[in-house]
Amino acid sequence: MHRYRFYAGDDNGNDTDTLAMIYLSFRTVENDARHDWREFQRIKNELAGPDWWAVEIYPAETDLHDSANQWHLWCWPERPQVYLPTLNVRGDFGMAGRLVMSPEELAEDPDPRIGPCARQRPFTDIKWPYDGPNTVTDDVLIEPST
């Protein structure tokens, strides 16, 4: 388990009950380049909330920020909307519905959206599926930056 240092900012200085967006910036305490989706999902759940949506972006090279092994998430309390002006299409951003499969479930009944060669690691490394902040003292995942 890696530990992370984080910075959390908001869009307007209000408390979390009235926030429209939360910005999370974090890195491992070891300052390594590990990128683990499950750990990032847990960070989002614990800092913004399990019902919030988050986006990690990969910007144009002209706006690239890559000065440290650090990641950035922008979080919203509701599903973000997307607009494609060239097609005049509006809609929900991201995937709808929950799909979480253990390695055993995937081996028994592969989901056709994933494909027959998909692999999944066991859910033993962190508490999953998410059911609230972890209270085990030796499993600290996040700490504020100083």
48 closest CA partner among 84, 27, 74, 71: 74
The answer, yes or no, to whether residue 138 has pLDDT greater than 80, is: no
* Per-residue model confidence (pLDDT) at position 89: 80
Mean pLDDT of 6-35: 74
Q: What are the residue boundaries of the structural domains of the chain, listed by start?
A: 4-144
Tell me if 136 sits within 8 A of 12, measured CB to CB.
Answer: no
The answer, yes or no, to whether residue 126 has pLDDT greater than 70, is: no
CA distances from 102 to 38, 72, 81, 110, 131 (A): 13, 28, 30, 11, 16
The answer, yes or no, to whether residue 68 has pLDDT greater than 80, is: yes
The set of residues, in sequence order, having a beta carbon less than 8 Å from that of 59 and lying 6+ positions away, is: 65
* Per-residue model confidence (pLDDT) at position 62: 93
Name the H helices within the chain: 37-47, 103-108
Mean pLDDT of 91-120: 76
More confident call, 103 vs 57: 57
Backbone torsions φ then ψ of 9, nearest 5 degrees: -125, 165
* Per-residue model confidence (pLDDT) at position 9: 66
Three-state secondary structure call for residue 110:
coil
